[in-house]
């Protein structure tokens, strides 16, 4: 997101190719050559037409691609939805009829934020167009880490045909895409689950028999049911599906099913499916700027209208009171001095109608300016002035750039300090009451923050993105206090953090460690509570609200608290429970829970308790005439007596609500 293209030509020799590609393979594992067909250009694959320039009557339908270059299009192509390719990609082969030598093919493969690109000459009448997988000779790369290495499983991004300045029409029949590779012999399979259904794919050349076992648990981890079923898994990544009968919830609000695929000689990560009960929605549409409860909803990713309204309403229903929105310079000012506010006016209005405050992110360059130059910074300031003035009645917080300490900022770091310094002056001149959010660091980058401050870059609020693979609650609390001291007590806002519920890929690891949906929900509550305990002025936003896609093997598609179809994940209800119970409550006050390893904080009449590392027992005096124990998913039971001994499952917060 919010990235510029910077190309680099690969210099990696062919002998080093598989050293980079096979990141997850054991050096001692035997390798197996594999071949499978991820695409056959059927209507369910949802390819879409792409182009640059006037594509005339070009169209795509079920494998038939008509390229109309008569109007001068620079290129025309097709792109599939984000779908991870299994295994290590040694070669990609496109099978076609009607290819023309006049129109070279451009193949794009993606990993993390980086895109690999290669231009492939096409022989007249060729029926197979083959390309060795990246990295290696002939590949260029852009965006992301920009180091030419594979940082996660590959995805087929786009197939383009170059116009070459020739004004003609070409009809191409696309048959399939075949992927060939070499895999560790014990990592040929992957299992994914949704609800009470598990799907298994294996890259082997022959069908295999497997036994699928499942265990159903409630929120407290109690086993409710077990079972198994034999299944024949077809070869070459064709899918086998096992559907278990859904057990009775018995009044519970949550069920988890763990699937294990037992197949001799294969290491297959377990897959998890979930059921959650629909719970009462919150309907408060009043703005609450003092609330700490943000969420990375990103309404700017939705078309104005019903889709945007649906996302905003679901955010409101969960108790979201703040959102971070990217105000695209190029979208608002597509040509110098010509502004189009319609889309963002609708976005700001939808947020306000649902009681959600906005802090605006101003990241990226307009296509008509000169990035990372004096001219570019001056143009950025001119746009920023117009932006702040236009929204001064509704948006009072402006964040300058996203994660400039890493690849999202391609210029000198000193130039970012200059951008922040000048942006501060521009914003204050346009709206003296506005707050300027600075740094927006990936992680808590103490060195970057200190160096930027040393360059006299002013800001009102520090923003950080404290992503981490595991959560040490006490360390997070301490880090928040340390960075607050570093910026001399100015507020510290967390504008991104989160964990992904990706299913582990069969051969290649990813930058984000996978967690189950139950774990994601528990981590969300623990992290919010920890940061609220560390800083009474905290404003905290999870990344992100809705899954970006529906392929569970890609970590960016699995960061949300909603599935891509808008149905709630467990984390949605855990967030909703937390915001409902702690709404308008005073800042956290530490409480003695009888065990120093237990985290216990009182927010008015609500006490939050959790243990991060192991099962523990908390001893809490009960202060109300009526006391209710509420677990993180919203299940509750009454407590009696003057004191309660609460059994805490590791990682699972609970709340005690006192009432008179």
Q: What's the CA gap between 223 and 215, in Å, rounded? A: 7
Q: What's the CA gap between 332 and 156, in Å, rounded? A: 31
All domains of the chain in start order, with CATH: 8-184 (2.60.120.260), 189-276 (2.60.40.10), 293-582 (3.20.20.80), 589-659 (2.60.40.1180)
323 φ, ψ (degrees, to nearest 5): -135, 150
Structure tokens, 397:
């917080």
pLDDT above 50 for 20: no
pLDDT tier, 29 (very low <50, low <70, confident <90, very high otherwise) = low
pLDDT tens, residue by residue, 522-538: 999 999 999 999 999 99
Which string of DSSP letters, residue by residue, matches 172-202?
A: EEEEEEEEEEEEETT--EEEEEETTEEEEEE
Relative orientation angle of helices 517-534 and 570-582, to the nearest 10 degrees: 30
H or E, element range at 646? strand 643-648
H or E, element range at 577? helix 570-582
Collapse the DSSP code of 589 into the 3-class scheme (helix H, G, I; strand E, B; otherwise coil) and give the result.
strand
Q: Report whether 247 contacts 222 (CB < 8 A).
A: no
pLDDT tier, 26 (very low <50, low <70, confident <90, very high otherwise) = very low
Q: Report whether 501 contacts 515 (CB < 8 A).
A: yes
- Give Cβ neighbours of residue 499 (< 8 Å, ≥ 6 apart): 512, 513, 515, 519, 520, 523, 524, 559
pLDDT at 144: 86
pLDDT above 70 for 135: yes
pLDDT above 70 for 112: yes
Cα within 13 Å of Cα(601), Cβ side? 22
Bridge partner residues of 193 (DSSP):
198
Q: Report whether 483 contacts 464 (CB < 8 A).
A: yes
Q: Report whether 77 contacts 176 (CB < 8 A).
A: no
Q: Report whether 633 contacts 219 (CB < 8 A).
A: yes
Residue written as token pair 């030419």: 148
Share of the chain above pLDDT 70, in %: 96
Q: What's the CA gap between 545 and 495, in Å, rounded? A: 13
Mean pLDDT of the chain: 93
Q: What's the CA gap between 6 and 8, in Å, rounded? A: 7
Instruction: Check residue 557 and report its DSSP letter.
Output: G
Which string of DSSP letters, residue by residue, matches 195-242?
A: TTEEEEEE-SSS-EEEEEEEEEE-TT--EEEEEEEEEEEPSTT--EEE
pLDDT at 28: 46
Instruction: Check residue 83 and report its DSSP letter.
Output: -
Structure tokens, 277:
């009960």
482 φ, ψ (degrees, to nearest 5): -65, -45
pLDDT tens, residue by residue, 199-248: 999 999 999 999 999 999 999 999 999 999 999 999 999 999 999 998 89
pLDDT above 60 for 279: yes
192 burial level (CB within 10 Å; 0-12, 13-18, 19+): buried
Q: Report whether 142 contacts 543 (CB < 8 A).
A: no
326 φ, ψ (degrees, to nearest 5): -80, 120
Collapse the DSSP code of 449 into the 3-class scheme (helix H, G, I; strand E, B; otherwise coil) and give the result.
helix
Share of the chain above pLDDT 90, in %: 91
Residue written as token pair 């992301």: 144
pLDDT tens, residue by residue, 299-336: 999 999 999 999 999 999 999 999 999 999 999 999 99
Q: What's the chain's length in residues? A: 660
Residues 134-153: what's their mean pLDDT? 91
* Widest distance between CA atoms in the chain: 86
- Give Cβ neighbours of residue 357 (< 8 Å, ≥ 6 apart): 287, 288, 289, 321, 322, 323, 351, 397
pLDDT tens, residue by residue, 467-516: 999 999 999 999 999 999 999 989 999 999 999 999 999 999 888 889 99
Q: What's the CA gap between 635 and 239, in Å, rounded? A: 37
Q: Which of 462, 426, 430 is nearest to 446 (CA)?
A: 462
Q: What's the CA gap between 530 and 331, in Å, rounded? A: 38
pLDDT above 50 for 408: yes
pLDDT at 4: 34
pLDDT at 17: 32
Q: What's the CA gap between 501 and 562, in Å, rounded? A: 11
Q: What's the CA gap between 38 and 543, in Å, rounded? A: 30
Q: Report whether 553 contacts 507 (CB < 8 A).
A: no
Exposure pattern of 358-374 as b/e (b: 16+ CB <10 Å)? Answer: bbbbbbbbbeebebbee
Helix ranges (DSSP H) in 233-364 = 306-317, 329-332, 342-353
Beta strand 64-68 with 169-184: parallel, antiparallel or unpaired? antiparallel
């Amino acid at each position: 997101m919010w990235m510029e293209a910077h190309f680099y030509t690969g210099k990696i020799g062919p002998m080093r190719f598989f050293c980079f590609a096979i990141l997850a393979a054991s050096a001692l594992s035997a390798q197996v050559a594999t071949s499978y067909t991820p695409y056959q250009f059927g209507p369910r694959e949802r390819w879409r037409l792409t182009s640059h320039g006037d594509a005339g009557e070009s169209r795509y339908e079920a494998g038939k691609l008509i390229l109309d270059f008569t109007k001068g299009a620079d290129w025309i192509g097709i792109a599939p939805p984000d779908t991870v390719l299994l295994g290590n990609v040694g070669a990609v082969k496109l099978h076609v009829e009607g290819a023309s030598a006049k129109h070279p093919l451009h193949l794009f493969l993606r990993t993390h934020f980086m895109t690999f690109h290669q231009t492939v000459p096409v022989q007249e009448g060729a029926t197979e167009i083959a390309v060795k997988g990246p990295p290696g000779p002939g590949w260029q790369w852009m965006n992301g880490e920009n180091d030419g290495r594979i940082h996660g499983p590959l995805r087929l991004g786009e197939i383009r045909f170059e116009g070459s300045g020739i004004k003609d029409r070409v009809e191409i029949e696309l048959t399939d895409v075949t992927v060939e590779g070499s895999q560790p012999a014990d990592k040929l399979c992957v299992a994914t689950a949704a609800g009470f259904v598990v799907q298994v794919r294996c890259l082997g050349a022959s069908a295999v028999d497997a036994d699928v076992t499942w265990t159903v648990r409630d929120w407290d981890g109690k086993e409710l049911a077990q079972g198994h079923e034999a299944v024949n898994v077809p070869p070459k990544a064709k899918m086998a599906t096992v559907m278990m009968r859904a057990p009775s919830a018995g009044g519970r609000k949550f069920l988890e099913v763990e699937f294990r695929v037992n197949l001799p000689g294969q290491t297959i990560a377990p897959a998890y499916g979930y059921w959650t009960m629909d719970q009462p929605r919150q309907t408060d549409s009043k703005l609450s700027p003092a609330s700490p409860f943000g969420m990375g909803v990103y309404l700017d990713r939705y078309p104005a209208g019903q889709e945007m309204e649906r996302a905003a309403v679901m955010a409101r229903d969960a108790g979201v009171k703040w959102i971070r929105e990217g105000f695209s310079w190029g979208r608002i000012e597509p040509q110098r001095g010509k502004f189009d506010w319609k889309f963002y006016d609708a976005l700001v209005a939808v947020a306000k109608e649902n009681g959600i405050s906005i802090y605006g992110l101003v990241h990226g360059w307009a296509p008509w300016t000169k990035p990372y130059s004096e001219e570019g910074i001056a143009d950025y300031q001119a746009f920023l002035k117009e932006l702040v003035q236009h929204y001064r009645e509704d948006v009072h917080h402006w964040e300058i750039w996203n994660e400039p300490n890493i690849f999202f900022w391609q210029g000198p770091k000193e130039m970012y300090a200059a951008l922040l310094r000048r942006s501060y002056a521009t914003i204050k001149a346009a709206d003296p009451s506005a707050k300027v959010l600075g740094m927006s660091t990936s992680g808590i980058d103490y060195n970057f923050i200190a160096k930027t401050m040393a360059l006299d870059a002013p800001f009102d609020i520090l923003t950080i993105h404290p992503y981490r693979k595991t959560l040490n609650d006490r360390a997070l609390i301490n880090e928040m206090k340390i960075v607050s001291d570093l910026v001399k007590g100015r507020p510290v806002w967390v504008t991104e953090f989160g964990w992904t519920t990706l299913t582990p890929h069969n051969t290649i690891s990813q930058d984000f460690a996978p967690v189950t949906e139950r774990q994601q929900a528990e981590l969300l509550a623990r992290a919010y509570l920890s940061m609220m305990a560390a800083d009474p002025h905290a404003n905290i936003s999870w990344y992100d609200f809705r899954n970006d896609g529906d392929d569970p093997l890609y970590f960016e598609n699995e960061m949300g608290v909603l599935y891509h179809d808008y149905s709630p994940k467990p984390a949605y209800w855990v967030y909703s429970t937390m915001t409902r119970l702690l709404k308008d409550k005073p800042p956290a006050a530490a409480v003695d829970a009888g065990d120093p390893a237990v985290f216990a904080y009182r927010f008015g009449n609500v006490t939050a308790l959790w243990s991060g590392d192991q099962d523990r027992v908390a001893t809490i005096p009960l202060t109300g005439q009526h006391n209710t124990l509420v677990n993180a998913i919203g299940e509750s039971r009454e407590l009696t007596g003057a004191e309660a001994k609460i059994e805490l499952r590791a990682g699972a917060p609970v709340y005690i609500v006192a009432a008179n």
